[in-house]
Amino acid sequence: MQTPPIPENSKKTIININGEICKPEDAKISVFDRGFLFGDSVYEVAKTYQGIPFLLQEHLDRLWKSASRLEMLLTVSQNDVSAEVNKALAELGVEEAYFRIILTRGEGPISLDPGEGVKNNLIIIAQEHLPFPSSWYENGVHVVITNVVRVSKESVDPNVKSGNYLNNVMAFMQAKREKAFDSIMLNHKGHVTQGTTSNVWIVKDNTIKTPPLQAGILEGITRKTLLQLAKSDDSLKIEQVNFTAEELINADECFLTSTMKEIVPVTQIDNSPIGTGTVGPLTVKLHSLYSDFVKRTVEGL
């Protein structure tokens, strides 16, 4: 069984709503906000290292792309959002922080039609980030292949990071029932897509593989970064290719990537150990490459 995470209510938290700083218990937004009514919102999750927002521009660019794909008119600029992020983080006053940027379409009538003159609500949740259990990285985690099928890319664009997250919530609930770390979701063709909040990778015969965007996945920023880093190392062979649940289970190594968790080894899927059932050497090497990238980036800012 995995070590439980730190309870959320034990972490220092600050909320910024449209430029106004408040405590969590004082944070309020209208029940007529379309993010609440319809999940009509976009968001990004990022973190700080040594007090510095990491790859903030990349997250803002993806936030803007998500809004564009939803035809969401933005009444704030990227500079506005960046300034409010920094305001919240300064108020929080910790070196290692999690922050979530949420942009809703705004308040409007209870109708699918947002109408005109709707003004966005900008919410930033900044929270102290405490270290994840070391056992995740030293021993690996157990995941399950969920029977919750990933929503088709023909139905909902997987590269829209929106407030409509029920597909992932239902998949995670299955993982929780089975006392697993996370669920891996398949698409309607039976190909592996992603975890509920992470991208999936396998290693087979020294080749590193991750599903292509066409499988119906979110283009994770850590995924994108790791692909770039791996391509710069001639000793690493990497492919973006479809693979099945069977290939996943029979992999030599498996790991998940995300902004907050970085690279988490997977050593068991359902009831099957992956490879030797221990953290694999290429997983360790890739995490080292990523950690070096983080250090270089932070020191260069």
| Residue-level pLDDT, tens digit, the chain, 301 residues | 344 454 555 689 999 999 999 999 999 999 999 999 999 999 999 999 999 999 999 999 999 999 999 999 999 999 999 999 999 999 999 999 999 999 999 998 899 998 876 899 999 999 999 999 999 999 999 999 999 999 998 888 988 999 999 999 999 999 999 999 999 999 999 999 999 999 999 999 999 999 999 999 999 999 999 999 998 898 999 999 999 999 999 999 999 999 999 999 999 999 999 999 999 999 999 999 999 999 999 998 6
CATH classification code of 8-128: 3.30.470.10
CB 287 within 8 A of CB 258: no
Q: 12, 153, 161, 285: which is the annotated catalytic residue?
A: 161
Q: Which pLDDT belongs to residue 37?
A: 95
Count, in order, helices (H) and strands (E) of the chain: 8, 15
At which residue do the structure tokens 């391509």 appear? 231
Could you confirm whether 153 is annotated as catalytic?
no
CATH superfamily of 134-300: D-amino Acid Aminotransferase, subunit A, domain 2 (3.20.10.10)
- Give residue 300's pLDDT: 85
CA nearest to 200, candidates 217, 175, 214: 217
Q: Which helix (H) or strand (E) holds 8?
A: none
pLDDT for 118: 83
CB 17 within 8 A of CB 29: yes
Q: Helix, strand, or coil here: 232? A: coil
Residue 144, judged by CB atoms within 10 A of its CB (0-12, 13-18, 19+), counts as buried
Q: What is the pLDDT at residue 154?
A: 87
Beta strands in the chain (DSSP E): 13-17, 20-22, 41-49, 52-53, 97-104, 121-128, 141-145, 182-186, 192-195, 199-204, 207-210, 237-240, 253-258, 262-269, 272-273
What residue spans define the domains of the chain? 8-128, 134-300
Greatest alpha-carbon span in the chain:
59
pLDDT computed for residue 35 by the predictor: 96
